[in-house]
Amino acid sequence: MDAEGFADPLPPRGSTLRQQAALILRRAGWDLAPCPIVWSPRMSRCAGLFVIEKDSRGVWRPEIRLSTPLLRRRDRPWPVEVCGCNCRNPEDVVRRILEHELIHYKLWMEGVDWGHTERFRDLAWAAFGHQSITHGIGTET
C-alpha cells in the first residue's frame, strides 16, 4: 500500500498521461479506458479542460487538455491546494487536475450532465477525496 492507502503504486516518472489516467480510473473502480489527453501550450486560464468535439465524420470525441504553462511550473511555494487537497509537488498537481477532468469524462460516458453537478461533487469526494471542484492551483484561478 502506498501513503494514500492504494495497492497500486503511483505511475513511475516518465509514464504517459494516458498510463496515469488508466491507473486513476482503475483505482476509482471505473471500468473505462482513458480518453485522449494532450498538453496545451495555449491554455493559461485553467489547468485542465474536458472537451467534446466532432471529428470529420461527425462523431463526438472526448479529450482532456492540460495547461502546459500552469502545470509544468516548478517554482511554486509548496504545498499548494488543488481541488481542495494539498499537493506537495508538481506530479501531485497534475494528478489532481487529471482526476477532476476524468470525472467529467466518466459522467459524459454515462450520458448524464457532466458539469459541476451534485453527482460530480459526490464522485470527486468518494473517489479522490476532493474538497472542492475549482480549477485553480493555490491562489491562481
pLDDT at 135 (0 to 100)? 65
Residue 75, all three cell numbers: 517554482
| Of 51, 78, 85, 83, the residue nearest 65 (C-alpha) | 51
| Number of domains present in the structure of the chain | 1
Name the residue range of residue 37's domain.
17-128
Note whether 121 and 129 are within 8 A (CB): no
CATH number of the domain encompassing residue 21 = 3.30.2010
Residue 66, all three cell numbers: 492540460
Interatomic CA distance for residues 35 and 52, integer angstroms:
11
Residue 67 within any structural domain of the chain: yes
Collapsed DSSP state (helix, strand, coil) of residue 129:
coil
pLDDT at 136 (0 to 100)? 73
| Of 15, 63, 75, the residue nearest 36 (C-alpha) | 63
Residue 79 within any structural domain of the chain: yes
Residue 111 within any structural domain of the chain: yes
Residue 114 within any structural domain of the chain: yes
Residue 2 within any structural domain of the chain: no
pLDDT at 9 (0 to 100)? 47
Residue 7 within any structural domain of the chain: no
Range scoring the smallest mean pLDDT among 16-20, 25-29, 73-77? 73-77
Residue 9, Cα to own-chain centre: how many angstroms? 18
pLDDT, tens digit, for every residue of 60-79? 999 999 999 999 888 889 99
